[in-house]
Chains A and B, each alone.
Chain A
Amino acid sequence: MDMFIQQLTNALVVGAFYSLIALGYSMVYGIIQLLNFAHGDLYMVGSFVGFTVLSLFSGQPGILGVAVAFLASMLVVGLLGMGVERIAYRPLLKASRLTILITAVGVSLVLENGTMLSYGPSFKVYPYQLPTTGFHIGNATITFAQIGIILISLVLMIGLQTFVHKTLYGKAMRAIAIDQTATSLMGIPVNRIISMTFFIGSALAAAAGMMSGLYYGQINFMMGFIVGLKAFTAAVIGGIGSIPGAMVGGLALGILESLGTIYLGSEWRDVFTFAILILILVLKPTGLLGEKTTERM
């Protein structure tokens, strides 16, 4: 039982990171059918922005300092995401999906190498790390940091869900996902809504990046690559394009990975993950929460 609680906590923390990044994947796919392969790198940039802001505080930044860095990271990366959309994707929106997909790979390379040039190729140690205090349930150790990460992720996800379903902007996003041309004929500023979608998706990835930096304490310019692939897998598992799907997919992936590690050994963890991806694509291409004619978003 102790082991079960411990593994579940571990899985939920990893799953929370995947979910937050998967949300951006899903939203962008939902609205313009683009698999934004640069999304994992926005997560990486998020952790680097957090790193930079935290480095500005001398000594311990405290809760307030971390909160400032957290918001700054979300804001900067959100704007970066908007910029990427404006420069790299918008001119190609009418082109074939393959063209824009290749551009996304290009953006990913630019972000990775840009970060490498600015910060150097070596691993960076986060200037402030979450305390490792916590409590015990039997033999299991659960830290406050883990609970914090899970809670913050939940709040962000619920906030997003509310935004999409309860506000006018959310309604516009869902409308664009169904029919872009018709929506623009209704007088809705399509480009602005797409831009906003990129902002939200990128900011969520940055939140994950910042929390991962605080939690693991070590960042590197390549850290977004594999996480991006995992988040993509999470989005597909949940049903790409669906927001609740991305949340469920991320958490499911975290749990699946833990199971893979326990029963097959650590080296098989990624094999297990991507095997699941293939299985889902073969057996239920619409994902866990996807329907035959799914309303994207």
Chain B
Amino acid sequence: MNKNWKKAGVALSIASMLTLTACSNGSAGSSGSTAGSGGNKSGDILIGVQSPTTGSTAKMGQDMNNAIQLATDEINANGGINGKKIKLTFADDASDPQTATAAANKLVSEGVVAVVGGYASGATLPASGVYHNAGLPMVVTAANSAKIPAQGYNDIFLINGTTVHQGEVAADYMVDKLHGKRIAIIDDNSAYAKDLADQTKKAVESKGAKVVDFEAVNPDEKDFTTLLTKLKGLKPDATYWTAYYAQGGLLIKQFKQLGVPGAIGVGDGANDPTLIDIAGKQAAEGTFVTTPPTAEFLPDAKKFINDYKAKFHQDPGPYSALSYDGMRLLADAIKRAGSTDKNAIIKALQDTNNFKTFAGDVSFKKDGTLKKSNFIVLLVKNGKFTLPQQ
């Protein structure tokens, strides 16, 4: 993009290569020596996977890696891409910006032709800069901060909807499905929740409905009764909580207890069964949840779930289906590009036209985000999250 970024990128690459050679054992050193060769030596297509496999989100990274491995094995079993097999190389970003930058440099130096992965936005953001400077395409499968596309890179593609998409889906549901004219939006002042609340407000207002209450609570607050008493007087048709499950459960409970009218719903940060436990089964009944597509709620993903269980002896995680689809999308793009040239792959990704995934058809906007949101709305029924009957 601009000179400073390039300089920083070069400096970082050199620094990381130095660290690699300085402190790595023989195997890493030898992989470093194939830099720039694209893994062509063996005739394979080398694809990098960036995910957190250590740290507090290690489980998510493992889930993603499993799903990507599953997709790769299937593609290879079906003859690979244009006669070549896919080879994966994994890099751990620990959901940490610094580790992520080192991981990204590792992948670049190994000579991958594209990258798939990215869980935490905070880690994906700096890594995407490294890939962009190296001219590498990246398919982001989980991170969804609106800041990633805002960088204006033409080679980063998000197959997970952003907060903009989620806000739209929430607004569609509350205004169109529930015929809501008076909407209340509550967040907890955290960056993510605030962002989602802002986007939802924008979407609700653009649909002609009124936001009657737009408020934030303190992150440690347990007692929402004062706020809800006020809300009760405002008679909202629907109330939307954009932060996390622990407080969300309490909010729902007290909402029902005080008898605030209208529906209540939560964003994906509150998509956790504990939400229902905290609120209580009765109070939680009918709560709507906007969430990225998780495998268990996607009718087409049955086979994927079974294959995944058979191979890894565990249930797929929340981002497994997206990771699986991300790898398939990338393979499809390389196939369409007809070569492993980075620019050709980027072009092919940009030209993606209604690629079929579990969560719907994928096409990209100019900024690399989805043209059509893949967020889904779940309803709490009998104490469980369920897909509403269409």
Measured CB to CB, the residues of A under 8 A from B are 3, 6-7, 10-11, 13-14, 122-123, 125, 129, 132, 139, 141, 143, 212, 216-218, 220, 222-223, 225-226, 257-258, 261-262, 265-267, 269-270
Give the CA-CA distance A293 to B284 in the complex, in Å: 54
Contact A3 B233 (CB under 8 A): yes
Contact check: which of B229, B253, B277, B283 meets A6 at CB < 8 Å? B229
> How far, in whole Å, are A132 and B245 apart by their CA atoms in the complex?
21
Question: B278 near A: Cβ within 8 Å?
Answer: yes
Which residue from B216, B226, B277 sits with its C-beta under 8 Å from A258?
B226
Whether A123 contacts B218 by the Cβ 8 Å rule is no
Judging by beta carbons under 8 Å apart, are B230 and A261 in contact? yes
Number of inter-chain CB pairs below 8 Å = 84
- Would A218 and B233 count as touching, CB distance under 8 A? no
Cα separation A226 to B217 with both chains bound (whole Å)? 14
B 195-231 binary contact with A (CB < 8 Å = 1; else 0): 0000000000000000000011110111111110110
Question: Is A216 within 8 A of B250, CB to CB?
Answer: yes
Interface residue? B274 (CB, 8 A): yes
Shortest Cβ-Cβ A-B pairs, 9 listed: A10-B225, A267-B216, A261-B226, A125-B277, A123-B246, A266-B217, A258-B226, A226-B220, A6-B229
B280 contacts partner chain A, Cβ-Cβ < 8 Å:
yes
Docked-complex contact B226 and A10, CB < 8 angstroms? yes
A267 touches B217 (CB 8 A): yes
B63-97 vs A: 1/0 string, CB under 8 Å? 00000000000000000000000000000000000
Contacts of A132 in B (CB 8 A): 253, 256-257, 283
Contact B226 A267 (CB under 8 A): no
**Contact of B15 with A by CB under 8 A:** no
15 further interface pairs, Cβ-Cβ under 8 Å (given A125-B278, A141-B258)? A3-B230, A125-B274, A129-B280, A132-B253, A132-B283, A141-B257, A143-B257, A216-B250, A217-B249, A217-B250, A261-B227, A262-B226, A266-B217, A266-B226, A267-B217
Contact flag A266-B218 (CB < 8 Å), given A11-B226, A125-B277 = yes
How far is A266 from B258 in the complex, measured between Cα atoms in Å?
A: 17
Which residues of B are found within 8 Å of A139, using beta-carbon distances? 232
Residues from chain A with a CB closer than 8 A to the CB of B223 are: 10, 13-14, 216
Interface size on B, residues (CB 8 A): 32
Query: Which residues in B have their C-beta under 8 angstroms from that of A270?
Result: 218
Q: Within 8 Å of chain A (Cβ to Cβ): is B189?
A: yes
A interface: dominant SS = helix
| Chain A residues with CB below 8 A from B258, complex form | 6, 141
Partner of B250, one of A13, A218, A222, A257: A218
Q: Give chain A residues whose Cβ lies under 8 Å from the Cβ of B216.
A: 265-267
Whether B226 contacts A216 by the Cβ 8 Å rule is: no
Contact of A217 with B230 in the complex, beta carbons under 8 Å: no
Among A10, A14, A143, A212, contact of B229 (Cβ-Cβ < 8 Å): A10
